[in-house]
């Protein structure tokens, strides 16, 4: 840091470690945000699918298929909407959403549904049964924890939700932890 009449001091190992720690925290915060975004879409689809399948007395397989289809639909929809509003055409926004969310939603759905199947009686429980809602809540929470490092890994490599930020201008305005903005600044969320 330069002050009046003094040359800038060279970066020390401590300065570089501090910058790396800041980048790591920023990357983690972005991954948490992306995973919460994924959780929102998956939760809407999962809850709707489980409620409909359970209310109609469908088999476990039918209910899970509906829940997974709806989770992907709502997960992608929550990404496509803001990207389109930022000015990207729908035909271009859909591939962005597919690239950003497919692995994250897949991991979340595999974990969530595996837990629902593993909890004895959870899939057979009625909508009024706390076992159904408790199992679904726990399954989504555990799926969040498992999916978070996946999203962090993706974003750290410029994939996943990093792709979305590139398309709606956030990377140009704020940079990302691994890539600076147009002025050469890295994000510090």
* pTM beyond 0.75, yes or no: no
Cα–Cα distances in Å, from 145 out to 37, 53, 138, 160, 169?
A: 13, 26, 11, 17, 28
C-alpha distances in angstroms, 125 versus 57, 121, 130?
A: 10, 6, 8
In a domain, residue 184? The reply is no
Query: Are the beta carbons of 139 and 111 closer than 8 angstroms?
Result: yes
Give the dihedral sign, CA 145/149/155/160: negative
Domain count, the chain: 1
> Does residue 88 belong to any structural domain of this protein?
yes
Answer yes or no: is 93 within a domain.
yes
Question: In this structure, is residue 15 part of a structural domain?
Answer: no
Domain of residue 126, residue span? 32-174
Residue 136 lies in a domain: yes
Task: Spell out the alpha helix ranges (H) of 56-169.
Answer: 60-85, 90-118, 130-156, 161-167
Mean pLDDT per block of 10 residues along the chain (189 residues) reads 51 44 81 89 92 90 95 93 86 88 94 94 89 94 95 86 59 44 45
């Amino acid at each position: 840091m330069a002050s009046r009449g003094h040359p800038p001091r060279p970066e020390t190992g401590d300065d570089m470690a501090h910058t790396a720690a800041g980048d790591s925290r920023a990357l983690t915060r972005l991954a948490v945000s992306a995973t919460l975004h994924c959780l929102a879409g998956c939760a809407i689809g999962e809850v709707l699918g489980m409620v409909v399948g359970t209310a109609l007395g469908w088999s476990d397989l039918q209910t899970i298929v509906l829940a997974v289809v709806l989770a992907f639909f709502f997960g992608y929809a929550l990404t496509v909407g803001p990207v389109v509003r930022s000015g990207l055409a729908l035909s271009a926004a859909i591939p962005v959403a597919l690239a950003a969310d497919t692995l994250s939603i897949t991991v979340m759905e595999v974990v969530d549904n595996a837990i629902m199947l593993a909890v004895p009686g959870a899939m057979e429980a009625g909508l009024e049964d706390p076992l159904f809602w408790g199992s679904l809540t726990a399954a989504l929470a555990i799926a969040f924890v498992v999916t978070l490092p996946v999203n962090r890994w993706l974003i750290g490599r410029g994939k996943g939700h990093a792709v979305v930020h590139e398309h709606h201008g956030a990377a140009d305005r704020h940079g990302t932890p691994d890539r600076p903005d147009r002025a050469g600044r890295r994000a510090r969320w």
